[in-house]
Structure 1
Amino acid sequence: MASRPEELRTTTPAPWPLPRFGLGCAPIGDLYGSVDPGTAVATVHAAIAKGATLLDTAPKYGDGLSERRVGDALASVDRERVQISTKVGWLVGEGNGPSPAFGRDDVLRSLESSMRRLGVDHFDLVHVHDPDDHLDETARHTLPALIRLREEGVVGAIGAGMNNHVPLAELVRRTDLDVVLVAGRYTLLEQPALADLLPLCAERGVGVIAAGVFNSGLLANPRPDAPYNYHPVPDAVLERALAIRDVCVRYGVPLRAAALRFPLGHPAVVSVLVGAATPEEIADNLDLARHPVPTEMWADLRTAGLLDPLAPVP
């Protein structure tokens, strides 16, 4: 596997502190629809210009397409300006869709392929990707392989990324993680990760990256045909999202602004990922993330039963 020259391996920059916002690069891997290659590159550049310098990608995003497009964007960017996060656990690029691959050799093979697609020789952060059904193998083989690469300086920090907060908490208990990425389970709409994952991470000094903060689109624009966790939205969930929006409107706060700001109120959350497929989309979201949110608004959401009373707010 390619790696940094021996004399530089211990000087790989750690990813801390991470920027408050990063770019989720699944959309430029054609997650929701075809994206023009030039638009994909411009989206990455727009995110970096706005300070969202954590670029989160994965082989699983578009069968390597997202990584290739991030790599194209990096060709004209100072590598030290950005933090590159990718993932292991699924081998791609053979035309048959992703296949689970959580062994030590799989990790090396996956990262070597990611290096080629991204045009880099080290990673600031590597997650084990969706190991929900492979927790034992992840604990016994995948993470020890990543720990070794962390010791060698090829990887700056290691983590795990899932949509389910319960197995993430189990991995935090069992292994030596630096960070976790939790998608959709700590948002303005719902906070189940507050029961176990977030306090555990705060106790153990594990950073939390919050992703899916719009719950795959519902909090961006609540409506009957909006997606919720990549599926049609149930009526009760839509009703809750609309009620949250109504409270925000009373305070003149765009719903997206509140959704982007909310996770950062928890002391364990170190960064929020914002997915985007165009430069305009990422610029608009990052501008909204700076919108002021009155303290009284969070209090009203609690009073209305729309926010967990134990959830810290910004």
Structure 2
Amino acid sequence: MSPRHNRLGRSAVRVSELAFGAAAIGNLFTEVSDAQAEAAVAAAWEAGVRYFDTAPHYGLGLSERRLGAALRGRPRHEFTVSTKVGRVLDPAPGAQGDDLAHGFAVPVTHRRRWDFSARGVRRSIEESLNRLDLGWIDIAYLHDPDNHADQALDEAYPELERLRAEGILGAIGVGMNQAELLTRFIRETDIDAVLLAGRYSLLDQRGLTELLPLAAERGVAVVVGGVFNSGLLADPKPGATFDYATAPDELLNRALRLKAVCERHGVPLRAAALRFPLGHPAVVGVLVGARSAAEVRDAAAMLNHRMPDALWGELKERGLLPADVPTPREEG
């Protein structure tokens, strides 16, 4: 069964409920071959995924180049691509070594530089269009403006509005792993979407306090990333990571309790973690990073897994989810 498609806020852009996160095909942590990257995107397409997310940051442009190459020849109006602004890539001739200090197994061909100026945003979009080999970008997210909030609001966001008016962009969003500043953007701008990473999961519902209700009220779409909290909800065991650090015992025990309840209902924990965010009316999709065709097929299968209402009921009864949190309804 292919993922459903939802409208992105007030824009004309549509996204599939399952989105392909392309950081991994930018050699996140370890190398991926061109053939593996192409096969992962092809598997996503075969599974009905039509929303693909990337950024210049991912592999110093490698993710964008590989994603553009893999989508080349597919009908342009049938897929949605998002990329991000806020870091520009300056050439670094003669630089030695790799980029693993920033998480990517690629040669240091460029240096990242934070730039939320109007000029920097326009340059970033133009360079992304070239790397992706596309005529327009469906969604542009302001990428991690945590320490640049004022410039992002005063300079970057208005420039994205101008680019949208020119037809270069279809929609504007902000992507972060915190809910508080995203909430400010919803209040103070007319963004179409937010990409919330790691803050609306089975283990962390901080996005529910203020961000998600306000997004629903304002008609702003929410795409949820980090549904596995960097690994703990994919496979809870000693040494598993939460927010890219070793999970503390308290969180590991909670994840193991979540897993036990899921298994009593015949549901893999990964499936519940993927489906949970879609229970909120503001959430239009979940973003899953994948570096191989097998990982893509697994994510698609997990999203399609039958999810009985009784599962969510027991999680609430046992205090593993808040009693008032919205949960998906069983279908069929």
Mark yes or no: TM-score above 0.5.
yes
Q: Give 1:31's aligned amino acid.
A: L
- How do 1:132-151 and structure 2 match up within 5 A? 132-151=146-165
Q: Which residue number in structure 2 is paired with residue 219 of structure 1?
A: 233
The whole-number CA distance in structure 1 between the counterparts of 2:73 and 2:14 is 23
User: Alignment partner for residue 121 of structure 2, among 103, 107, 115?
Assistant: 107
**C-alpha contact (below 8 Å) 1:164/1:182 kept by paired residues:** yes
> Is 2:291 aligned against 1:274?
no
Aligned residues between the structures: 301
Q: Which residue number in structure 2 is paired with residue 299 of structure 1?
A: 313
Instruction: Report deviation, 1:15.
Output: 5.3
Moved over 6 A (4+): none
Shift in alpha-carbon separation, 1:309–1:234, aligned structure 2, 3 A: same
Q: Give 1:82's aligned amino acid.
A: F
Describe the superposition over 1:69-111 as per-residue Cα deviations: whole angstroms up to 9, x where unpaired.
1011022322222101000000125345421110000011101
Q: Give 1:69's aligned amino acid.
A: R
Instruction: Report deviation, 1:245.
Output: 0.4
Shift in alpha-carbon separation, 1:311–1:97, aligned structure 2, 3 A: farther
The whole-number CA distance in structure 2 between the counterparts of 1:96 and 1:123 is 23
Structure 2, unpaired ranges of 5+:
1-10, 92-108
Q: Which residue number in structure 1 is paired with residue 35 of structure 2?
A: 38
Give the alignment's TM-score, normalised by structure 2: 0.89
The whole-number CA distance in structure 2 between the counterparts of 1:24 and 1:308 is 28
Q: Which has the higher strand share?
A: 2
Identical-residue share of aligned pairs (%): 48
Q: Which residue number in structure 1 is paired with residue 71 of structure 2?
A: 74
2:296 alignment partner, SS class: helix
Which range moved further: 26-35 or 72-81? Answer: 72-81
User: Alignment partner for residue 23 of structure 2, among 21, 26, 35?
Assistant: 26
**C-alpha contact (below 8 Å) 1:63/1:93 kept by paired residues:** no
**C-alpha contact (below 8 Å) 2:41/2:70 kept by paired residues:** yes
Q: Give 2:78's aligned amino acid.
A: R
Instruction: Report deviation, 1:251.
Output: 0.5
The whole-number CA distance in structure 2 between the counterparts of 1:295 and 1:140 is 45
The whole-number CA distance in structure 2 between the counterparts of 1:21 and 1:76 is 22
> Is 2:48 aligned against 1:51?
yes
- How do 1:71-220 and structure 2 match up within 5 A? 71-92=68-89, 94=91, 95=109, 97-220=111-234
Describe the superposition over 1:245-282 as per-residue Cα deviations: whole angstroms up to 9, x where unpaired.
01001101000110111000000001111110001110
**C-alpha contact (below 8 Å) 1:48/1:82 kept by paired residues:** no
The whole-number CA distance in structure 1 between the counterparts of 2:275 and 2:78 is 24
Q: Give 2:255's aligned amino acid.
A: A
The whole-number CA distance in structure 2 between the counterparts of 1:79 and 1:107 is 24
Instruction: Report deviation, 1:310.
Output: 2.1
Q: CA RMSD in A?
A: 1.1
The whole-number CA distance in structure 1 between the counterparts of 2:188 and 2:53 is 24
1:313 alignment partner, SS class: coil
Shift in alpha-carbon separation, 1:256–1:93, aligned structure 2, 3 A: farther
The whole-number CA distance in structure 1 between the counterparts of 2:323 and 2:171 is 33
Q: Which residue number in structure 2 is paired with residue 10 of structure 1?
A: none
Give the alignment's TM-score, normalised by structure 1: 0.94
Q: Give 1:306's aligned amino acid.
A: L
Describe the superposition over 1:195-225 as per-residue Cα deviations: whole angstroms up to 9, x where unpaired.
0110010010000000010111111101112
Q: Which residue number in structure 2 is paired with residue 245 of structure 1?
A: 259
2:204 alignment partner, SS class: coil
Q: Give 2:308's aligned amino acid.
A: P
**C-alpha contact (below 8 Å) 2:13/2:80 kept by paired residues:** no
The whole-number CA distance in structure 2 between the counterparts of 1:282 and 1:273 is 11
Instruction: Report deviation, 1:16.
Output: 3.2
The whole-number CA distance in structure 1 between the counterparts of 2:12 and 2:290 is 22
The whole-number CA distance in structure 2 between the counterparts of 1:282 and 1:15 is 27
The whole-number CA distance in structure 1 between the counterparts of 2:75 and 2:163 is 23
